């Protein structure tokens, strides 16, 4: 019993540290990728002992700056809720990763370790339930600040999340009908099968429209450009206008962690998760008859590495969108969600159910 608790604790620590590391690196990628796309140098001034490391030390300098800046609370604000709101946003963003599988099974000393912090039978429902609670941190932050612009940003965030959560929920129903399970780990294992030995049963192959709908609605859920209306610096300044120091930093960090969450969920549901084509528990088995045997630990490491490489690719893609498309207007945001994405997601469910019924 004590060993099981220790294993769960170590997995949780690994996931939290990994996600926080991704979030920290994204603060650098945010500026560096935009600089590369715009033919600029980007952040590169921070240095230690004369080393600049292509600007990576800006991550450390930004952290020091946010921890040491003055903590400001508006005079008329609800001080307790004003302090609590960014913590809620960050907490709910981090908790969701406990249900996402980052590998298959690791066997050590005769013990099988499921590479998933919390092996829940309905883990996909857990993820979306916890994610939906994150909006409370945004709404409470805007309301508790006693600032009209903050409050308007909070209202925008709640309306936006409610609108696009409907599309996200419907978009994955087609995949759930095919996988026939609510367990994320079992979904990934299903995607390990092959059609005719060549084509992987990844969600993006079986549900291409569901993949696109989920990704677009997910970007809207993360409140990132082109759907960053709750912040809208050039319009309403945003729900965090009355925040400073590390409280503002927690809101910013939550945005990056939600990007990682979207990438991890998209990988799990549609890109095969930790699956690698033709990689079985004992090594590679290619359809042309060739086989390469591998030790179990090597297979486990390859699977974990494949999962994180897919996540990195989707993070790069989100940043590409962020620095390519302009912000949409609020009426366009609602029109896209209710008049285009939701009907398409409903049609996808109907077509998927009809096809499954026809093929038995």
* HSE-CB for 281 with a 13 A CA cutoff: 5
Per-residue pLDDT, averaged over 232-246, amounts to 85
DSSP annotation of 195 reads E
Give the span between the Cα atoms of 26 and 34, in whole angstroms: 12
**Mean of per-residue pLDDT scores for the chain:** 92
pLDDT in tens, 294-307: 999 999 999 999 99
Higher-scoring residue by pLDDT: 225, 270? 270
Q: How far is residue 138's CA from residue 228's CA, in Å, rounded to a whole number? A: 13
Q: Which residue carries 């045997």 as its tokens?
A: 293
Mean pLDDT of 192-217: 91
Check whether 191 has a pLDDT greater than 80.
yes
Residue 112 per-residue DSSP state: E
Query: 122 in helix, strand or coil?
Result: coil
Binned at pLDDT 50, 70 and 90, residue 242 comes out as very high
Q: In whole angstroms, what is the distance from residue 192 CA to residue 326 CA?
A: 38
pLDDT at 236: 75
Q: Is the pTM of this model over 0.75?
A: yes
Asked if residue 196 has pLDDT above 80, the reply is no
Q: What is the pLDDT of residue 44?
A: 87
Share of the chain above pLDDT 90, in %: 77
DSSP string over 273-317: TT--TTEETTEEE-TTS-EEE--HHHHHHHHHHHHHHHHHHHHHH
Q: Which of 13-17, 81-85, 278-282 has the lowest mean pLDDT?
A: 278-282
pLDDT in tens, 65-124: 999 999 889 999 999 999 999 999 999 999 999 999 999 999 988 788 999 998 889 999
Q: Using CA atoms, how far apart are residues 42 and 25, in angstroms rounded to an integer?
A: 14
Torsion of CA 185, 187, 191, 195, to 10 degrees: 140
Give the residue-averaged pLDDT of 224-230: 90
The β-bridge relationship of strands 194-195 and 111-114 is unpaired
- In this predicted model, what pLDDT tens digit does every residue of 34-72 receive, in sequence order? 999 999 998 888 889 888 899 999 999 999 999 999 988
Query: How far is it, in rounded angstroms, from Cα 347 to Cα 360?
Result: 20
Mean pLDDT confidence for 207-229: 94
Question: Is omega for the bond preceding 226 within 30 degrees of 0, making it cis?
Answer: yes
Confidence category of residue 332, pLDDT binned at 50, 70, 90 = very high
Of 113, 200, 127, 123, whose CA–CA distance to 168 is shortest?
A: 127
């Amino acid at each position: 019993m004590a060993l099981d608790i220790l294993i769960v604790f170590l997995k949780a620590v690994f996931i939290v540290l990994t996600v926080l590391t991704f979030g920290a690196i994204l603060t650098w990628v945010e500026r560096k990728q935009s600089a590369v796309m715009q033919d600029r140098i980007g952040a590169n001034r921070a240095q230690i002992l004369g080393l600049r490391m292509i600007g990576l030390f800006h991550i450390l300098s930004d952290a020091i700056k946010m921890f040491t800046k003055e903590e400001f609370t508006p005079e008329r604000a609800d001080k307790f809720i004003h302090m609590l709101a960014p913590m809620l946003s960050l907490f709910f963003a981090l908790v969701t990763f406990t249900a996402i599988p980052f590998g298959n099974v690791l066997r050590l000393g005769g013990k099988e370790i499921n590479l998933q912090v919390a092996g829940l039978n309905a883990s996909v429902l857990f993820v979306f339930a916890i994610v939906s609670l994150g909006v409370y941190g945004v709404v409470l932050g805007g309301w508790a600040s006693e600032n009209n612009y903050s409050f308007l940003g909070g209202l925008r965030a709640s309306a936006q999340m409610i609108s696009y959560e409907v599309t996200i929920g419907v978009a994955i129903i087609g995949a759930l009908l095919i996988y026939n399970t609510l367990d994320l780990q079992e979904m990934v294992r299903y995607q390990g099968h092959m059609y005719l030995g060549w084509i992987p049963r990844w969600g993006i192959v079986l549900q291409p429209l569901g993949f696109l709908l989920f990704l677009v609605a997910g970007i809207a859920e993360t409140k990132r450009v082109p759907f960053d209306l709750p912040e809208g610096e050039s319009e309403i300044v945003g729900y965090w206008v009355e925040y400073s120091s590390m409280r503002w930093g927690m809101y910013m960090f939550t945005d990056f962690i939600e990007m990682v969450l979207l990438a991890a969920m998209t990988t799990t549901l549609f890109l095969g998760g930790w699956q690698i084509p033709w990689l079985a528990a004992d090594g590679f088995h290619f359809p042309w008859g060739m086989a390469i045997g591998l030790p179990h630990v090597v297979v486990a490491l390859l699977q974990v590495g494949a999962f994180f490489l897919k996540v990195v690719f989707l993070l790069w893609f989100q940043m590409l969108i962020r620095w390519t498309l302009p912000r949409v207007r609020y009426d366009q945001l609602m029109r896209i969600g209710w008049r285009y994405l939701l009907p398409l997601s409903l049609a996808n469910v109907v077509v998927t159910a009809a096809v499954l019924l026809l093929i038995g």
